[in-house]
Every structure is written in C-alpha cells, then in structure tokens.
C-alpha cells in the first residue's frame, strides 16, 4: 500500500513538472503569437495615419501634429474626383484635360471599404485601454529648403500591455541598443521620410 502511495505521489510530481516545463516552453510562443496579431492592427493604424497625413498635406501644404485637426479634416474635407481625357485638339495624344466630375469626402474615399473603421479611433493605440498615439509634425531644413515632416509612434509597452512584462522590456531594450525606437512608428522628425520602421 505504501508503494502505491509513493508511486501515485511520484506520478503527480512528474505530471506537475511536465506541465511546468511545457508551460515555460510555450510562453515565448504565446507571446510572439499575441505580438504578431496586435502588430497587424497597430501597423494598419499607422498606415491609416500616414494616408490621412498625405491628404492633409496636399490640402494644407504641411502635416499636422493634432489628431483633432486630422480627424476633422478626414470627416469634412472633400477632394475632387477627376477624370483625365485626351485633348481633342492634340493630334499626338500626349495632352490631357482634367475634367472634375464632383467631390467626395476624404473619409468616403479612403476608408469606405473598411466597415469596422471608425475615424475617431485613429488617435488610440490598439489594445492599450485608450492610450493616445504620439503624433508630431514640423519642418526640417534640407539644402536650404524647408521640408514638412511628421512622425507617429507607438511604444511596445503601449500595444503589448497585458502580455509578459519582461519580454516587452527585453524587446524594447534590444531595439534601443541599436539606436532604433522601442516600438513601431511611421514617418520621421529627422528625415523627409514617410516609411514605417517595419518596412
């Protein structure tokens, strides 16, 4: 009887140890899966900001550092719908005439195909319980010419909130060690670039 109790106790210990080993091996896998899923949403949000900023700059000759201005612009500003037709007086068919067919709101033009898109959410970091994306804009001098620039950034700790904190810290530290931002961003306040650091 004593042998059976010892064997059962050992079996329980083996099962518990096996589960603990399995759980520790699965932690990085679960973290990376959750990180990848969240990054899809974060990258899309940053791409939306880049697109909206591009239209804002076309209309205002500059970028904005205010989400209120950007969202108001998306909701209210209208862009012309232009059709290019060949110039009938040009026999070489190289000239065209721009015919404005009407106007459409920026929000309808950019985001109408995405049913779940809410322009008022543009400022918020996905999976962060309401944290605001860091948005900045201004101008830099390039060869005596003022160039408009903007930057939108989301630190790892903001969009990975709720996941294993040590892994988030390690991820941020590894990026900062190589002089990069510890998170995802689009644009730059130092260079005339609208690239994302994931591209």
Among the residue ranges 59-68, 97-106, 137-146, 150-159, the one predicted with the least confidence is: 97-106
Among residues 100, 94, 53, which one has the least CA distance to residue 77?
A: 53
Among residues 156, 131, 147, 133, which one has the least CA distance to residue 190?
A: 147
Q: CA-to-CA distance for 121 and 74, rounded, in angstroms?
A: 12
Cite the DSSP H helix spans in 77-189.
Answer: 106-111, 156-159, 165-177
Instruction: Find out whether 43 and 159 touch, Cβ atoms under 8 Å.
Output: no
Among residues 94, 181, 187, which one has the least CA distance to residue 149?
A: 187
Name the more confident of 100 and 61.
61
Q: What is the pLDDT of residue 181?
A: 76
Q: CA-to-CA distance for 163 and 35, rounded, in angstroms?
A: 9
In the block, residue with structure tokens 């950034």: 153
pLDDT tens string 126-182? 988 889 999 999 999 888 889 999 999 998 888 888 888 887 777 777 665 445 777
Residue 123's pLDDT band, with cuts at 50, 70 and 90, is very high
| Domain spans, the chain | 33-187
**Can you name the residues that pair with 148 across neighbouring β-strands?**
139
Give every strand in the sheet of 134-142, ordered side by side: 134-142, 145-155, 183-187
Helix (H) or strand (E) holding 114: none
Beta strands, E only, 122-193: 134-142, 145-155, 183-187
């Amino acid at each position: 009887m004593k042998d059976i109790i010892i064997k059962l106790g050992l079996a329980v210990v083996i099962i518990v140890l096996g589960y603990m080993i399995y759980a520790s091996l699965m932690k990085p896998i679960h973290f990376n899966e959750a990180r990848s899923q969240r990054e899809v949403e974060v990258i899309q949000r940053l791409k939306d900001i880049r697109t909206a900023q591009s239209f804002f700059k076309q209309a205002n000759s500059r970028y904005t550092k205010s989400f209120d201005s950007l969202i108001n612009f998306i909701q209210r500003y209208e862009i012309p719908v232009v059709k290019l037709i060949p110039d009938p007086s040009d026999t070489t068919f190289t000239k065209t005439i721009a015919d404005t067919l009407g106007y459409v709101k920026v929000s309808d033009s950019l985001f109408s195909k995405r049913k779940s898109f809410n322009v008022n959410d543009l400022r918020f970091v996905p999976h962060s319980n309401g944290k605001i994306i860091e948005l900045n804009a201004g101008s830099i001098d390039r060869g005596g010419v003022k160039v408009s620039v903007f930057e939108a950034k989301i630190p790892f700790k903001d969009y990975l909130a709720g996941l294993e904190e040590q892994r988030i810290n390690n991820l941020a530290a590894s990026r900062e060690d190589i002089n990069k931002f510890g998170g995802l961003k689009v644009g730059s306040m130092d260079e005339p670039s609208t690239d994302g650091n994931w591209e």
